[in-house]
Structure 1
């Protein structure tokens, strides 16, 4: 068993920007998966509310998640491109304990 940090983010896009957000999120995920300390990064789009996205990120620890949020790709993709397209963004952190994989 290993301890890890889990972040679950809910991004609610403005209805007219949902497809644009859907196109940008895979770029953010791809770069984030390459970070030291990242265990996994997945994106899901709500089937009934297609402007709502859930992102589940797992890191070795909270410091690795902090490094993610301070990375150049997070600044250029998330902060500069995705976040301005959102109505809201909620990120909740959890401590995980269990087998991953």
Structure 2
């Protein structure tokens, strides 16, 4: 089963451009991961300092490989001082079963 989540955080005042640069570089690496299906980065139209990242991984093992990637730790270490939260807020999503 695919592992799907929404990661969100808010750039501190004046750090939005640096956060956008960091997440852009990180996204390029994540999208190259074998088990990554989607890694889309958004900002909120009404609040451009609010970042939302929609992530989908092939399965739990692919998500764990993502968490253990060598570039994840340095990315998070660089990101944390630039955002309002203590870390990215993760919301794990479950697909709604629908009839076709």
Quote the residue 1:94 is aligned against.
93
RMSD: 1.7
Instruction: Tell me which protein shows more strand as a share of its residues.
Output: 1
Question: Separation in 2 of the partners of 1:94 and 1:62?
Answer: 13
TM-score (norm 2): 0.84
Gaps spanning 5+ residues in structure 2: where?
none
What is the SS of the residue equivalent to 2:71?
helix
Runs of 4+ more than 6 Å apart:
none
Quote the residue 2:81 is aligned against.
84
What is the SS of the residue equivalent to 1:52?
strand
* Structure index of larger Rg: 2
Instruction: Tell me which protein shows more helix as a share of its residues.
Output: 1
Gaps spanning 5+ residues in structure 1: where?
none
What is the SS of the residue equivalent to 2:15?
helix
